[in-house]
Amino acid sequence: MGVPAWVWFVIAVAAFVVGGGFLLRDRAVLTSRNRERRRWAGLRGWQFAETDMALPRRWSGGAVAYYGDGVARDVVAGTTFTSDGRRKVYVYDLEAGGRVNTVIAAVQTRRKHPVVVELWVPSTPFQREHMPELLGPVGQRYAFVSDIAAARALITPDLVDATEEIGRDIAVVWVEEGWVLAAAPPNSSPSRLERLLRGIGEVADVVDPFDADADPAGEVPEQSADPAAEVEPQATPDETGTARGAKSDAEA
The DSSP H or E segment spanning 26 is helix 5-44
- Of 101, 85, 84, nearest in space to 93 by CA: 101
What is the structure's pLDDT at 5? Answer: 64
Average pLDDT for 14-18 = 50
Which of 30-39, 143-152, 231-240 shows the lowest per-residue confidence on average (mean pLDDT)? 231-240
E strands, 147-202, in order: 172-184
Q: What is the pLDDT of residues 214-241, one digit of tens each?
A: 443 344 444 433 434 433 433 333 433 3
Q: What is the pLDDT of residues 98-141, one digit of tens each?
A: 899 999 999 999 989 999 999 999 988 766 667 789 999 999 99
What is the structure's pLDDT at 10? Answer: 54
What is the structure's pLDDT at 33? Answer: 78
What is the structure's pLDDT at 131? Answer: 79
What is the structure's pLDDT at 59? Answer: 95
pLDDT, averaged across the chain: 78
Q: What is the DSSP letter of 83?
A: T
- Give CA–CA dist 55/237, Å, rounded: 29
